[in-house]
Amino acid sequence: MNSLGVKEKIVLTHGLPSASLMVSVGDLSADKHTSKLINKLKSLQPNLHIWGLGSSAMREAGAEILYDCQEFSSIGIVGVLKIIPFLAQVRQTLMKEIEKRQPKAVLLVDYGGFNLILARTIRSRYKNLPIYYFISPQVWGSRPWRMHTIANTITKMLVIFPFEENLYAKKNIPVTFVGHPLTKNLPDSKDLLDRKQFASKYNLDPVQPIISIFPGSRKN
């Protein structure tokens, strides 16, 4: 991904002539973001084998998908409770694959409820395995105690909001602000319609409030 700095690209690919990187992604939006990162990593290290949890975008980018995250994407406490046994099975499988494949690093992406438990499990068995975290759990919005887990398990945070860098730095957690993936898709400001033009195009009253709805990536 273009938002990753040179330092992070080197860190994730250094010393990996024919090695593997395990990636854990839990939803479709993160799958799309991570697919761009995979394309960039593979352009730097063509022999790097990337495997783990993800979906179609990562698969198209060349990752080996052991579990499709569409199978366990859920929202709300009821949805989470239903898939807890399955997620435990997924975590157990990943640990077996780590033991077998001996990846040079682990990359966790968003999906804090699952990935932080996975991080603790990995760190308890592999003290020196680098674990990077791209797209931080929203510890600044809720469950701030997750910072303790991050401090004890994660090698480095790769955050997408500028204020997150200061948040982690204050806790002495290694962190780099890499930029938000969606900013790469923004049009040039000179190509944007002004309010009057926008209202005219979509048959709206420019004087009245305009409300936009942005649904998430999960169907429900």
| Tokens describing residue 201 | 């195009």
Q: pLDDT (tens digit, 0 to 9) for every residue of the chain, 220 residues total? A: 444 554 454 445 444 446 899 999 998 889 999 999 999 999 999 999 999 999 999 999 999 999 998 877 655 545 667 788 888 999 999 999 999 999 999 999 999 999 999 999 999 999 999 999 999 999 988 899 999 999 999 999 999 999 999 999 999 999 999 998 877 777 888 889 999 999 999 999 999 999 998 876 556 5
Residue 20 parent element (H or E)? strand 20-25
Residues spanned by the domain of 51? 6-185
Pick the closest to residue 175 from 184, 162, 187, 188 (CA basis).
162
Domain assignment present for 58: yes
What CATH number corresponds to the domain at position 43?
A: 3.40.50.2000
Domain assignment present for 126: yes
Domain assignment present for 207: no
Task: Report residue 132: phi and psi, to 5°.
Answer: -105, 150
**Rounded to two decimals, what is the model's pTM?**
0.78
Number of domains in the chain: 1
Domain assignment present for 24: yes
Pick the closest to residue 157 from 135, 138, 141, 179 (CA basis).
135
- Measured between its terminal Cα atoms, the distance across the chain in Å is 29
